[in-house]
Structure 1
Amino acid sequence: MSDENAAQGETPETELPETETPEVDPVEALRTENADLKDKLLRTIAEMENLRKRNERDVADTRSYAIAGFARDMLSATDALNRALLVIPQDAREAADGTLKSLIEGIELAERETQRLLAKHGVKQIESAGRKFDPHKHQAMFEVPNTEVPEGTVVQVVQEGFEIGERVLRPAMVGVAKGGPAAAPAANGAEGVDKSA
C-alpha cells in the first residue's frame, strides 16, 4: 500500500505528535471578561457624566449670555439718551418749563429705565474711575500726566464700559494717569542702569 501511495504522489501518512493546547479555565475567562465589561461600563458612565456637566454648563452659558448681542445694541441707545442729556446745559435744565421740562424729564426717565432693564438681565456697568487700568475691561484712549495718583490709574472715563456675567460687552474707554508715585523711582533714575539700550 505504501508503494501505491508513493506511485500516486502521496506521501505516507505520518502521525504528528499532538500539541497540547493550554486549557483555558472557564472561571478565569469569565473573570477577565467581567473585569473588561466593568471597565467599559465605568468609562461609559464617566463619559455620560462629563457630557451631562458640559450640557448643564452650555445651558447656563446660553441663559446668561443669550442676550449679549441685544444688550450690546441697547448700549448704543442708552448712549444716545445720555448724550442728549449732556447737550442740555445745567442752567437750561433748571430754567426749563412746560414742554422743554417734560422733554428733559422724559429723556431722563427713558435713560434710567433702559439702565434698569439692562441691570435686570445681568448687564452691569464696569467701575472704572479711580481704579487700576485693566486691559481686559478698559481701553486706554490717552495718557494724562498726573503725579498725584499712581501710574496706571484710570483718571477719566470717556465712555462707560459694560459687562454681562464674566464677559465684557464693551470695554470702558478711559484716560490713564502717567508719571504718578509708581513711576517716581524710575524718574529719579537708578544708579548703574544703562538707559541708552
Structure 2
Amino acid sequence: MDGEQADGDALSQAEKILREAGADADGAEAAPAGSDREAELEEDLRRVQAEYVNYKRRVDRDRDVAKDQGVLKAVTSLLPVLDDLDAARAAGELADGPMAAIAAKLDTVLNGLGLERHDQESLAGTEFDPAVHEAVLRQPNDEVPAEHIVQVFRNGYVRNGRVLRAAQVMVSAGAE
C-alpha cells in the first residue's frame, strides 16, 4: 500500500539520518561539537519526524472518513427497507410477532450508527425547516401555527447532523 510504503520511507530516512549522525559522532573528536553537519542532520531528523506525524494524522483522518462513508452508504441503501417497515407498522402488521422483533432490532442497530428518524411523532407541531424538511403540501389549519408541520407523509433521516433524506411534510398556512 502507498501508506505503508510512505511510512517505511519516512522511517528509513530517519534511520539513515541517525546512522549518519552516529558516524559523524565517531569522527567528532576532530570536529567541533556544534558543527554544521550535525545541525543539518538534526534538522533533517526533525523534518522527517514532522512528516511522519503529519502522515499518521492524515492516515487516521482518511480511515475515519472512509469508515463514515461506508456506514453512510449502507444506511442509505436501507432507507427503502425502512419505508416498507414503516408502511407495515402503519397498517398494524408489525404489532406482534417475529417481524416486529426484527424491525425493533434493525431500529436499534441503526440508532447505534447515529441514524435519527424524523417521523410524525417527532415532527408534528414543530417549525418547518427547508434544510431538513420537504414541503409537499401547504394548507390552512386552525390548530397548528403557520409554518409548522401538520403531518409527515414520508419519514426523513439524519445521521450525525447530515440529512440523508428530507422528511416529506404538510405545512400549516395558519388559520383561514
Tell me if TM exceeds 0.5: yes
- Shift of residue 104, structure 1, vs aligned partner: 5.2
- Shift of residue 105, structure 1, vs aligned partner: 1.9
What is the match of residue 150 of structure 1? 145
Which of 137, 154, 158 is 1:163 aligned to?
A: 158
Residue aligned with 2:78, SS: helix
Distance in 2 between residues matched to 1:168 and 1:134, nearest whole Å = 12
Displaced runs of 4 or more, over 6 A: 41-51
Distance in 1 between residues matched to 2:158 and 2:59, nearest whole Å = 24
Name whichever of 50-59 and 60-69 sits farther off.
Answer: 50-59
1:80 aligns with 2:84: yes
Name whichever of 162-171 and 125-134 sits farther off.
Answer: 125-134
5+ long unaligned stretches in structure 1: 1-33, 94-102, 181-186, 188-197
**8 Å CA contact retained: 1:163, 1:169:** yes
Distance in 2 between residues matched to 1:177 and 1:43, nearest whole Å = 62
5+ long unaligned stretches in structure 2: 1-38
TM-score (norm 1): 0.53
Which of 127, 130, 136 is 2:125 aligned to?
A: 130
How many residue pairs end up in the alignment? 138
Which of 90, 95, 105 is 2:96 aligned to?
A: 105
- Shift of residue 113, structure 1, vs aligned partner: 1.5
Structure 1 residues 72-98: Cα deviation after superposition (integer angstroms, max 9, x where no partner): 22221122123123234xxxx8xxxxx
What is the match of residue 178 of structure 1? 173
Matches within 5 A, 1:1-197: 53-88=57-92, 105-106=96-97, 107-126=99-118, 127-179=122-174
- Shift of residue 170, structure 1, vs aligned partner: 1.4
Distance in 1 between residues matched to 2:124 and 2:172, nearest whole Å = 11
Distance in 2 between residues matched to 1:135 and 1:42, nearest whole Å = 51
TM-score (norm 2): 0.59
Instruction: Kindly provide the amino acid, as one letter, of the partner of residue 89 in structure 2.
Output: L
Distance in 1 between residues matched to 2:100 and 2:46, nearest whole Å = 61
